[in-house]
A and B are shown apart, each in its own frame.
Chain A
Amino acid sequence: MSHISVKDLKITYGNHKALQGINVDIPDGQITAIIGPSGCGKTTFLKSLNRLIDLCDDVKVQGEVLIDGKNIYDPNADVLSLRTKVGFLSQRPFPLPMSIYDNIMFGPRIHRMNGERLRRQIDGLEKHNGVNGHSSPGQKTQDHDKKRSNGDQLVESYLRLAGLWDELKDRLHAPASKLSVGQQQRLALARALAVEPKVILGDEPTSALDPISAKLIEQQFKLLKEKYTIVVVTHILRQARRVADYVIFFYLGELVEHAPAEEFFSSPKDERTRAYIAGEIS
């Protein structure tokens, strides 16, 4: 699990100040919800945590983001390993133009994870899946295991972790683009987890989904927080109430308030927070 600490972060797009002077510590092993109206810098903040923000035009970042004590904006920082460590789920899921199987194996293949590392990863997952009450893939298919490659087992394990295995096990080599949006988002989660991140960022990951798929994703997040630090942007207050352990409130590019969820919702300190929670401003 990773600890994220943001110090005096300022982000501008051209002349537009998107974020100003953000200071916050994001707790490890919890779900942190970032709430606030549209256009107030939530996504900008989220993307600054794995430097996806670098891909935007005319963007300028000042200040520090420390992940496990290292400033990710240090000129010598390794962006590739940062992004491997900090996984990302976008608002609308985008399957990569390949099969379901290849989508999950994309990360491990790119990072050339060797058999031993995959094996270790699978063992870890089997324990994790076991804890969550799923049957372990190892027990069921022990006889076949020797014949199946590490990749096959890895794909199965991650699909189980994302709650997709039973739906997809018979069409692993079908195009991922043919899945429903809800399935695509869970596949995106499985794909992000396959590179073994420590942090998962979600940019309104349920906003394009039907209520049932959205619930499945929320459930996955709750299960995953034992192993990962999770940061989710949402503009649905009820969702924040349901899943968040910690809440950060952005308003017009400013971090207004951050606190543990219970405290945040029951006794907000800032007038704007109170008004937002009460639904007086949007």
Chain B
Amino acid sequence: MVRRRLEETIFKILMIISLTLVLTTLAAIVIVIVLKGYSALSLDMFIKTPKGGYYLGKEGGIANAIVGSLCLALGATILSTLLSLPIAFALQKEYTGKRLANLTRLSLDVLWGTPSIVYGAFGFVIMMYFGLRASMLGGIIALSFLMLPIMTRAMEEVIRMIPQELKETAYALGTTRIEVSLAVVLKQALPGIITGVMLAFGRGIGDAASILFTAGYTDYIPRSIFDPVASLPLAVFFQIGTPIPEVQQRAYASALILLIIVLLVSLITRLLNAKYSRHIVK
């Protein structure tokens, strides 16, 4: 009896420690970034491009990186959603045999674990092959590779959780596989699918390595998808690497802006989820 009670207490303490660790890490990151970047944060940071020297400028803002990151992440999110949804649906047992499905899952897991610099290098090779230079398009493609496994696995997990009987109910009304997928599975899994999309978006907008060679960097706001494009993670990377304290400060301000974007995306996800779980069958 004493042993079992002790067990209970030890696990309780462990849980409290882990929970505290998670919460304080987030808090610490936010506090450090806010403290260090706050003084550099101004309206100019949001609306102006860098002035006074190639991306190390002390003046102007990082509108080029904000616009660039949003374009890259949105473009890659759209592209990889278009690819992920069919894969996630195809992994249902009505479409794909167990072996092939498991092999696909394994491949996706390996891709998930692949470092993003590898995607960058891979994207670069492909760009060279097609004779493309560093551009928004190149960055979007490289980021899509990075997002695809995250998105597909998240979607597929939710779709797999749907009770077989629910699908059976729909099949019993004389529906085809595709009708069941689009009219029932999609609706039931929608909150999970949205979470998957947003998760990948958050991961994509913060990634530096995959777009380092593929998207390039520029002080200007891109005019077309064939122009090089700046991004927030690389802005942070370049600015923090300089010996100039003012520029370093701007790195923290850039990080703060990135953090705010990710936070907003998380909030939007929550709102959308609440909206679309109305009809979910539990």
Contacts from A to B (Cβ < 8 Å): 50, 52, 55, 57, 80-84, 87-88, 90, 92, 94-99, 106-107, 110-111, 175-177, 188, 191-192, 195
Contact = CB atoms under 8 A, between A and B. Distances in A.
Interface stretch (B77-85, B126-134, B164-172, B215-223): B164-172
Contacts of A57: 93
Interface in B160-196: 163-176, 179, 183-184, 187-188
Contact of B171 (A52, A95, A191, A192): A52
Given A55-B94, A94-B163, A175-B279, A188 B173 contact: no
B4 interface: no
Contact of A80 (B165, B174, B183, B187): B174
B187 A98 contact: yes
A83 B172 CA distance: 6
Contact of B169 (A80, A177, A188): A188
Nearest to B187: A97
The listed residue with most B CB atoms (<10 A of its CB), out of A82, A94, A110, A192, is A94
Nearest to A99: B279
Which 3 residue pairs are nearest across A and B when measured between Cβ atoms? A84-B174, A88-B172, A83-B174
Given A57-B93, A97-B184, A110-B179, 11 more contacts: A80-B174, A83-B171, A84-B173, A90-B165, A90-B169, A92-B165, A94-B163, A97-B281, A98-B279, A106-B173, A110-B175
Contacts of A52: 168, 171-172
A96 to B, nearest CB: 6
Contacts, number: 81
A110 B168 contact: no
A263 B172 CA distance: 33
A107 B174 contact: yes
Contacts of B173: 83-84, 87, 106-107, 110, 191-192, 195
Contacts of A96: 166, 169-170, 183-184, 187, 281
The listed residue with most A CB atoms (<10 A of its CB), out of B169, B172, B183, B188, is B172
Interface of B: 93-94, 163-176, 179, 183-184, 187-188, 278-282
B136 to A, nearest CB: 38
Contacts of B176: 80
Contacts of B183: 96, 106, 110
Nearest to B188: A97
A81 B170 CA distance: 14
B177 to A, nearest CB: 10
A81 B183 CA distance: 19
27 contacts: A50-B172, A52-B172, A55-B164, A82-B174, A87-B173, A88-B168, A88-B169, A90-B169, A92-B165, A94-B169, A96-B169, A96-B183, A96-B281, A97-B184, A97-B187, A97-B188, A97-B280, A99-B279, A110-B174, A111-B174, A175-B278, A176-B279, A177-B279, A177-B282, A192-B173, A195-B173, A195-B174
Nearest to A54: B171
The listed residue with most B CB atoms (<10 A of its CB), out of A52, A55, A87, A188, is A55
A196 B39 CA distance: 71
Contacts of B164: 55
Given A52-B168, A97-B184, A97-B187, A81 B280 contact: no
A172 to B, nearest CB: 14
A103 to B, nearest CB: 10
Nearest to B94: A55
A83 B167 CA distance: 14
Nearest to B174: A84
The listed residue with most B CB atoms (<10 A of its CB), out of A50, A81, A83, A110, is A110
A84 B175 CA distance: 8
